Amino acid sequence: MAQYAEVWVNVITDAVDRPFHYRIPESLSGKVQEGALVKVPFGGQKVWGCVGGLLVSPGVSGEKIKDIFAVDDDKAGLNQEMISLARWLSERYYCRFMEAVNLMLPPGYGKVREKKEKYVMLTSLAESKSVSFWQELRQKAPRQAQVMDSLLNKNPAPWLEISRWTGADSRVLNQLVSKGLVEVEERISEKMSWLEDYVSRGDSLFEESISLTAGQQEAVSEITSAISGKERETYLLHGVTGSGKTEVYLRSIEYCLQEGRKALILVPEIALTPQMVAYITRRLSGRVVLLHSSLPLRERYQQWLRVKEGKCPVVLGTRSAVFAPLENTGLIIVDEEQENSYKQEESPRYHARDVAEWRAAYHSAVMVWGSATPMVESYFRSESKEIKRIDMLHRATEYSLPPVEVVDMRREMRRGRKSIFSRQLVERVEEVLRQGEQALLFINRRGFSSFVLCRECGHVVRCPFCSVSLTFHYHSGSMVCHYCYYTADPPEMCPGCSGIYIKYFGTGTQRVEKEMQKLFPECSVLRMDRDTTSRKGAHRRIWNDFRSGKAQIMIGTQMVAKGMDFPGVTLVGVIAADTALHLPDFRASEKTFQLLTQVSGRAGRGSKKGTVVVQTYHPEHYSIACARDHDYFSFYREEIKVREELMYPPFTEMLRMVLLSEEENEGWEGILEISKGLRSGPLGVEMLGPAPAPLFKIKGFYRYHLILKGKSLDNISDRVREVTRSFRLSKRGKKSRLIVDFNPAVML
Ligand code: ADP
Ligand code: ZN
């Protein structure tokens, strides 16, 4: 009989990243299991921890060993799958074991207690009583009778509600209970979220009876036969925008449920894909739980609990939902698998798609990765037959993909046209307005576009803390840093050359809005970006306004690029296609191609034909040319060549170490120390750097980085761990922050 336990305490530092031994007191014997959450004394405090294993004898001398105080409720504890997953995560993503455990706990663990409500219901005895019994009760105990009457209307009902209606107090309730007429149960009240709105709109979009296209049919039959064969299979569902991937997901989920298994659907961001979320929740009504971080904590906890208790067979959620306590999972869908939001940008720096892959293997589940523009890495895996691919290269509706017109802005400039809108774009907008249709104007990442520039020397005003260019805001007349919110007035003279031709260059959403409004004063223009959607519900309001046709033009950032379906839109304009093309990141071409494809997918989704106008200074670049031709494969062929030549993923694994320091010199010394530590033996992989990170300073921290890349990083991983640990525990390490990022999504 095990009398001791290994406990990982919830103290997240490198010094404590190992289990400690505790005695299991007699009162808890049998209750302390692997994965259980326990309260233990640690360094004079009471902390909670996770039981990593049971021991027959203590590993340390008997007198020092302390007792476990208590075991937490068993719902929160980790099962076997989660314990193994936590181990895998801590190894692959170089995080501490307890950081991984924390991902799997109920939302708000240790912060909220589940709040139960008292429900009252009729017993079978009450239901068997005759009319005369009730008449007698009414005369002798009118209050009790009233309670019974209200229960006839609603059974079971929350006691709070009944007592408010009838004025009965708990004494009345107790009498009814002792007569055996009612039962009381503690329940967690179940409340649906803001999504109800979307779901109840009753759009024709929710048709259940649509007949599948040939492409959909084929996809569904492949996926469902893999589910029925309980095959461990991964499908890359490469479907152009509008090919009807949602319907494929739904039919596959429905099939999976019929087979008695459960399903998990991951989406990049709920707010960006309200339509698909509405569609799915509506079709699977009552059987789907929504898990994402913008729900109130209490609600998230209730949802989580429903999954844990096996009350709900489908989970739909964002990144962290990949840890939903589902059992017997048959299908895992990752929609828009190329999205960066699947990668967590804080420790543990996991990628939800990779975690999903691990869980699918554990459950022998089928995986479906959906995308119109798959990640080059994923497509490569399908090309090399490691995973299967299903192509849906035609739209589900009868409308073909819109033609894309590329406008060379250099020529516009040479012709003396300095406006941010080319002649072609303006003409197209005029046409749309004349026809009473809608236009969507898209601007890349605002932080990189509307910078303050000196036209004489080219000096760009940058944030003193973050080294990114400041964005000019018309509204307040000031410049803002979009990393740290540093704000300043624009200079009257150029700090570089003292010139006076300071120009707010480029294209922020506000600038485009203003210029559009000037060109078309009679037309109403909506803007959707982080500024206009920061208030609660604003996103939904703008979305609804545009969809219902209250405005003819909408201007937005990548927020509008993804997932939205506006049937009235016949024109999509991309103001500056190349703002993302020159970022110092090896995925810049890929990101540009993805964005252009996504925005052009917004045009012509309704019954009218759409057009896309792309303005660029680099019309010959393959990202832009292939996006124009809706040609993913050619893009892939070009891009994969570059990746192979430069030995980037998928040909290598990558690991990035970033050191953040408040002092420039300390940071540089620190990263040198780390690189020396890594080189203490033969590396066997390539090391880039150390060097200053492209975003050299963020929020007052200097950033230096180095990159390891090689066919496999397995052989170096122990050394990375060692170097990381000893650096973090060193004097210099304690003053700075070292980030270890395996297969980073962003390299800035
Ligand atoms: P994707 O996610 O692949 O871009 P969606 O799933 O959003 O595409 O579907 C695009 C549009 O096509 C939606 O309006 C949807 O209602 C419609 N659609 C899907 N399948 C069919 C079908 N079999 N027949 C007709 N319309 C369909
Ligand atoms: Zn800043």
Q: Which two tokens stand for residue 191?
A: 């409340």
Token pair for 693: 């990170």
Cα end-to-end distance, the chain, whole Å: 54
8 A C-beta contact, residue 430 and residue 275? no
Given ligand 1 and candidates 240, 397, 630, which is best to mutate, with the most ligand atoms within 8 Å of its CB?
397
Q: Which two tokens stand for residue 168?
A: 């009965």
Q: What are the backbone angles phi and psi of residue 371, rounded to the nearest 5°?
A: -170, 150
- What mean pLDDT comes out for the span 319-324? 94
Confidence of residue 3 (pLDDT cuts 50, 70, 90): confident
* Cβ(473)–Cβ(479) below 8 Å: yes
Cα of 526 from ligand 2 centre, angstroms: 28
- Cα(486) to ligand 2 centroid in Å equals 5
Which two three-digit tokens encode residue 161? 């509600």
Q: Give the pLDDT confidence of 333-348 residue by residue, as tens digits.
A: 999 999 989 999 888 9
pLDDT band at 200; cut points 50, 70, 90: very low
Contact 543, 274 (CB under 8 A): yes
Whole-number pLDDT of residue 111 = 56
Ligand 1 atom 27: the closest Cα is on which residue? Answer: 396
Q: What's the gap in Å between 481 CA and the centre of ligand 2?
A: 5
Name 737's bridge partners: 660
Other CB atoms closer than 10 Å to residue 43's CB: what's the count?
8
Q: Each residue of 495-539: pLDDT tens digit?
A: 777 777 666 655 567 777 888 888 888 888 888 776 666 566 677
> Could you tell which of 247, 252, 283, 392 is best to mutate to test the pocket of ligand 1, judged by most ligand atoms within 8 Å of the CB?
247
Say which CATH topology domain 447-506 has: Rubrerythrin, domain 2 (2.20.28)
Cβ distance 162 to 120 under 8 Å?
yes
Q: Whose CA is nearest to atom 19 of ligand 1?
A: 244
Strand order in the sheet with 701-710: 686-698, 701-710, 653-661, 737-742
- Report whether pLDDT(474) > 60: no
Q: Residue of the nearest CA to atom 14 in ligand 1? A: 205
Q: CA–CA distance from 214 to each of 246, 251, 388, 389, 393 (Å)?
A: 15, 14, 18, 16, 11
**CA–CA distance, 660 with 669 (Å, rounded to integer):** 12
Average pLDDT over residues 43-58: 86
Residue 320 Cα to ligand 2 midpoint, Å, equals 28
Please say whether the structural domain 404-445+508-642 has been given the CATH code 3.40.50.300: yes
Q: Is the dihedral of CA 150, 153, 157, 160 positive or negative?
A: negative
| Residue of 246, 273, 401 with the most ligand 1 atoms within 8 Å of its CB, for mutation | 246
What is the CATH code for 4-103? Answer: 3.40.1440.60
Helix or strand or coil: residue 34? coil
121-134 confidence digits (pLDDT tens): 888 788 777 767 87
Do 4-103 and 195-344+352-370 share a fold?
no
Does residue 362 or residue 557 have the better pLDDT? 362
What distance in Å separates the CA atoms of residue 345 and residue 325, rounded to the nearest whole number? 23
Report the pLDDT value the prediction gives residue 434, as an integer from 0 to 100.
92
Using 50, 70 and 90 to split pLDDT, how confident is the model at 193?
very low
Task: Return the number of other C-beta atoms located less than 10 Å from residue 345's C-beta.
Answer: 12
Q: Tell me how far the alpha carbon of residue 110 lies from the centroid of ligand 1, in angstroms.
A: 43
Q: Which atom from ligand 1 is nearest to the alpha carbon of 211?
A: 23
* Ligand 1 atom showing the smallest separation from residue 601 Cα: 4
228 Cα–ligand 1 center, Å: 25
Q: How far is the CA of 464 from the centre of ligand 1 (A)?
A: 48
For residues 198 and 604, which has the higher predicted lDDT (pLDDT)? 604
Q: Let me know if 666 is exposed, middle or buried by CB neighbors in 10 A (0-12, 13-18, 19+).
A: middle
The per-residue pLDDT for 562 is 61
> Which fold would CATH assign to domain 653-742?
Alpha-Beta Plaits (3.30.70)
Question: Domain coordinates of the chain in residue numbers?
Answer: 4-103, 116-188, 195-344+352-370, 404-445+508-642, 447-506, 653-742
Predicted structure pTM score = 0.78
Cβ atoms of residues 641 and 601 within 8 Å: no
Closest to 655 measured CA to CA, from 554, 743, 528? 743
Q: Whose CA is nearest to atom 10 of ligand 1?
A: 242
* List of residues 6+ apart from 39 with CB closer than 8 A: 46, 47, 48, 49, 68, 69, 70, 71, 72
Between 231 and 378, where is the model more confident? Answer: 378
Q: Which CATH class is domain 195-344+352-370?
A: alpha beta
Q: Could you read off the pLDDT of 221-231 as tens digits, one per residue?
A: 999 999 998 88
Contact 276, 335 (CB under 8 A): yes
Ligand 1 pocket (Cβ < 6 Å) reads 205, 210, 212-213, 216, 239, 241-247, 396-397, 565
Which segment, 17-21, 394-398, 560-564, 669-673, is predicted with the most confidence on average?
A: 669-673
